[in-house]
């Protein structure tokens, strides 16, 4: 089983659509959870951390279910500029700060 697994994508949506990404992780000792965004051939950039109670940042909402080892990201009212690959990332604190990345889900928002 992959350590972090995401929807394979790509997701092609019109502007204004709501899109949801799913992610599961295999290590129950995982402590910290993040969504990163990666534009083509660029570095990953943090989109948001994911907290147990769920959290929202503008049009973006992240949820965590520790029992199911499941993380989600919801993007509302999608913009052309949201087009990117979304990376689900997990950290197990007792492993030197190592971040474990999912393979990413590509999103393409069309006019």
Partner 1 sequence: EPEVTQTPSHQVTQMGQEVILRCVPISNHLYFYWYRQILGQKVEFLVSFYNNEISEKSEIFDDQFSVERPDGSNFTLKIRSTKLEDSAMYFCASSEELGVTEAFFGQGTRLTVV
In the complex, which residues of this chain contact partner 1 (CB under 8 A)?
31-32, 34, 38, 41-46, 49, 87, 91-93, 95-104
Q: How far is the CB of 104 from partner 1 (least distance, A)?
A: 7
CB contact burial 26-43 (16+ within 10 A = b; e otherwise): eeeebeebbbbbbeeeee
Comparison of 42 and 79: residue with beta carbon closer to partner 1: 42
Task: Return the closest-CA partner of residue 25 out of 101, 93, 106.
Answer: 101
Looking at the Cβ atoms of 35 and 78, the one nearer to partner 1 is 35
Instruction: Write down the least CB distance from residue 42 to partner 1, Å.
Output: 7
What distance, in Å, lies between the first and last C-alpha atoms of the chain?
Answer: 37
Which one, 7 or 78, has the nearer CB to partner 1? 7
3-state secondary structure of 30: coil
């Amino acid at each position: 089983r992959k350590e972090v697994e995401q929807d394979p994508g790509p997701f092609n949506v019109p502007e204004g659509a709501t899109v949801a990404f799913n992610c599961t992780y295999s290590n129950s000792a995982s402590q910290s959870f993040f969504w990163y965004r990666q534009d083509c051939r660029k570095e990953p950039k943090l989109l948001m951390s994911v907290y147990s109670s769920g959290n929202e940042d503008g049009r973006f909402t992240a949820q965590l279910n520790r029992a199911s080892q499941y993380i989600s990201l919801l993007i509302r009212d999608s913009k052309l500029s949201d087009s990117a690959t979304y990376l689900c990332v997990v950290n197990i604190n007792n492993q030197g700060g190592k971040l474990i990345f999912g393979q990413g889900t590509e999103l393409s928002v069309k006019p």
